[in-house]
Amino acid sequence: FISCKLDGGITNFNLSVGITDEFMKALELNTTWDLKFGGKVYKTVYAREIWDAIAEAAHACGDPGLIFLDRIQADNPVPSDILNKTNPCGEQPLYNGESCLLLSINLAKIMNGNMQKLDRLTRLATRFLDALIDIAEYPLPLIDENTKATRKIGIGFTGLHDALIMAGLPYDSPKGRKFAAEITALMSAAAKDESMKLAEELGPFPKWEQSIYYPDTPIRNASRITIAPTGSVTAMAGCEGYGIEPIFGVAYKKATNVAGDFYVFSPLFLEACKKYNIPQEVLDEVGRRGSCQGVEGVPLEIQCIFKGAMDIAPEDHIAMQAAVQKYVDNAVSKTINLPNTAAVETIKDCFKLAYNLGCKGITVYRDGCKEGVVTVGT
């Protein structure tokens, strides 16, 4: 399973390995680990052998990622039902037969200091998704029954980096992470409060008496906040940062058969450049590099704010994920971008940091490790 993508196959979905606290302890102590299924032990190996294989495969092709099973279970709203699966990008832990209903608020459109608008939209989203549970058509009776038993919803956001840029905050700064955490905390509080109001109107979710909320908090939805990857949603919304991700780059080269090759720039970056009267020859150099970092003629205040995914250190990617995860009762879809030169040991360090900071999962991508993805620079 760990190595099944190394030959270039099964490219259309992500893979992750479930990791427990017990495994991480075995790794730390350099002890053995039983490979078992159905209660039967098939083989015993050192935990480090599995760990090394995961990191080497992720280095080679970006898969697998990790899912920290005990972290997910610790936030399980109905502890008697084991969370044993997620949706394809890992942001929605689920029980058998559950489905996920997700919605993302475009922060690029509202983050001009208008927290009241964000509160109002989150409450509207809570009611919208709760109603959708009842009117949706499910492919199997089991999915219908189990989805309605917990009434889980997943409200998230897209355009976080757009909002940070508009606020003049670097993505990889403590202030940037504090801003993102405050946004998520507000959404979490609003969604929970509105779900409690829905419970007063319509009753709590059917498994409420088996949940962590019983008997103190009648609530309509067992979980409410999820940060999804929002690829298609972001493209339609017209913002630049996908979900929690930073913008991929401030510029990239587009090749066409008619007009030849030309550079496509971040609109937010171009807007900032106009304010500083940055000349075209400087922009051409930014286009060639795919980054404004270290480009003579670009003010440092712009360089500080306009960092693409590859300009941000992996530990800062992970720190942002961890800052937001504190207020997300489901999970966060996030890719940790690494340069092509990153070593296998760097990937191991990323995995351990994500675990130590309380993330529920982690996916890494080393630049150039697979074909057919967006590239920047020459």
pLDDT per residue rounded down to tens, the chain (378 residues): 999 999 887 877 789 999 999 999 999 999 999 999 999 999 999 999 999 999 999 999 999 999 999 999 999 999 999 998 888 898 999 999 999 899 999 999 886 668 999 999 999 999 999 999 999 999 999 999 999 999 999 999 999 999 999 999 999 999 999 999 999 999 999 999 999 999 999 999 999 999 999 999 999 999 999 999 998 888 888 889 999 999 989 998 777 777 677 778 999 999 999 999 999 999 999 999 999 999 999 999 999 999 999 999 999 999 999 999 999 999 999 999 999 999 999 999 999 999 999 999 999 999 988 765 555 555
**Are the C-beta atoms of 305 and 169 separated by less than 8 Å?**
yes
Predicted local confidence at residue 354, as pLDDT: 98
Predicted local confidence at residue 113, as pLDDT: 65
Q: What are phi and psi of 346, to 5 degrees?
A: -65, -40
What's the CA gap between 54 and 50, in Å, rounded?
6
Exactly one of 61, 89, 100, 239 is catalytic; name it: 89
What's the CA gap between 20 and 36, in Å, rounded?
14
| pTM listed for this prediction | 0.94
Q: Are strands 65-68 and 40-46 parallel, antiparallel or unpaired?
A: unpaired
Q: What are phi and psi of 134, to 5 degrees?
A: -80, -30
Predicted local confidence at residue 114, as pLDDT: 85
pLDDT tens digits for 33-59? 999 999 999 999 999 999 999 999 999
Predicted local confidence at residue 235, as pLDDT: 84
Whether residue 89 lies in the annotated active site: yes
Exactly one of 14, 76, 87, 146 is catalytic; name it: 87
Q: What are phi and psi of 324, to 5 degrees?
A: -75, -35
What's the CA gap between 128 and 287, in Å, rounded?
42
Cis bond upstream, residue 64 (ω within 30): yes
pLDDT tens digits for 368-377? 887 655 555 5
Exactly one of 14, 61, 76, 91 is catalytic; name it: 91
Predicted local confidence at residue 233, as pLDDT: 86
What's the CA gap between 235 and 242, in Å, rounded?
8
Output the six-digit token pair for 106.
């475009």
Neighbours of 249 (CB within 10 A): 25
**Structure-token match 């979900």, residue found:** 243
Whether residue 91 lies in the annotated active site: yes
**Structure-token match 């920290």, residue found:** 68
Neighbours of 16 (CB within 10 A): 19
